[in-house]
Amino acid sequence: MAIRFGYADTSFGQLHYAESGSGRPLLLLHQTPRSWDEFRELIPLLDDEFRVLALDMVGFGASASLAAPQTIESFADAAWEFLDAVNAGPVAVLGHHTGAAVAMEMAAGRPGEVDAVVLSSCPWTEGSDRNDESGSGGVDRAVREPDGSHLQTLWNLRRPYYPAPVTNLLDRFLRDALAYGVDPAEGHRACARYLMADRIGAVRAPVLLLAAGADPFSMPHVPMLRKGLTGARVVREEVIEDGTVALIEREAPRVAAAVRSFLNSPDVRAVPEDLRRVR
């Protein structure tokens, strides 16, 4: 099935997206500083059953720029406006890294409009700068230099966390990081500003915690996420042991199988009466 591309008009500006398939809508939200392209391998594995919508979140890809300071709440607001513009809802939402935080905010803010949530490699954020393992510059933090050395810096900061062979994956990352109007580090700052503990308990939709065993940024947070999801009516956990930061691209078949199994579970598909009345 061919992937189609389009733009949706919102108050943030035009948002770019990829779409394929029909059926229940499934929104895909990428990590910083990626785009819909992060889901290039995954979309054709799900579009036989779902209306798959892979959004360039506001401030990324070919979507409208977003001035700093960016916030997870702004990313979520823009995603809701996008869904309204394309007449999609209620939805299941899959988010990876930054996208997972956005998916959580969407589910917390509008529990009657989110059927299920897949939090893939979700960070735990506490409203302050995260400590990461990439050195003092942080992942994706590189000062643009006239000699182009920032390109090598961006590559080198990501390289330790990507599975071999890395060239194609990092080429795609660099293209998104260098897109006009994109600050490769600002999405990470938005995550760091997000007070997840204040929002996670408001999530009522079923949640799949999809973890990558070789992702040092997210794997340690799984116990905190599970503990915090006190309002979700279903919480499941699946670990892809050799998964990395590039979980979606490199492990698309296993991700698709986990997502399909979760979204088709009877206890996930059942909508409580109080939420049904909200719709």
Does residue 92 sit within a domain? yes
**By C-alpha distance, which of 102, 80, 77 is closest to 89?**
80
Residue 269, CA distances (Å) to 102, 110, 205, 208 in order? 22, 17, 10, 13
Beta strands across the sheet bearing 13-20: 4-10, 13-20, 50-55, 24-29, 91-96, 114-120, 207-212, 235-240
Does residue 274 sit within a domain? no
The gap from C-alpha 3 to its chain's centroid, in whole angstroms, comes to 19
> What does the pLDDT read at residue 131?
41
Tokens in use for 65? Answer: 């720029």
> What does the pLDDT read at residue 1?
78
> What does the pLDDT read at residue 274?
63
> What does the pLDDT read at residue 278?
55
> What does the pLDDT read at residue 134?
37
Question: Which residues, 6+ apart, have CB-to-CB distance to 178 below 8 Å?
Answer: 151
Residue 148 DSSP one-character state = S
Domain that holds residue 175: 4-128+165-268
Does residue 18 sit within a domain? yes
Does residue 57 sit within a domain? yes
CATH code for the domain of 75:
3.40.50.1820
Does residue 238 sit within a domain? yes
Distance CA 218, CA 97 (A): 8
The gap from C-alpha 34 to its chain's centroid, in whole angstroms, comes to 9
pTM of the model: 0.94
β-strand partners of 241: none
pLDDT tens digits in sequence order for the chain, 279 residues long: 799 999 999 999 999 999 999 999 999 999 999 999 999 999 999 999 999 999 999 999 999 999 999 999 999 999 999 999 999 989 999 999 999 999 999 999 999 999 999 999 999 998 865 444 333 335 899 999 999 999 999 999 999 999 988 999 999 999 999 999 999 999 999 999 999 999 999 999 999 999 999 999 999 999 999 999 999 999 999 999 999 999 999 999 999 999 999 999 999 998 776 665 555
Residues, the chain, total? 279
**By C-alpha distance, which of 114, 10, 1, 14 is closest to 51?**
1
Does residue 150 sit within a domain? no
β-strand partners of 50: 24
Residue 127: is it exposed, middle or buried by C-beta count within 10 angstroms (0-12/13-18/19+)?
exposed
Distance CA 49, CA 64 (A): 30
Number of domains in the chain: 1
Distance CA 13, CA 11 (A): 5
Does residue 87 sit within a domain? yes
Residue 19 DSSP one-character state = E
> What does the pLDDT read at residue 139?
81
> What does the pLDDT read at residue 89?
84
Does residue 144 sit within a domain? no
pLDDT, tens digit, 9 for 90 and up, residues 3-38: 999 999 999 999 999 999 999 999 999 999 999 999
CA atoms within 13 A on the CB side of 190: 30
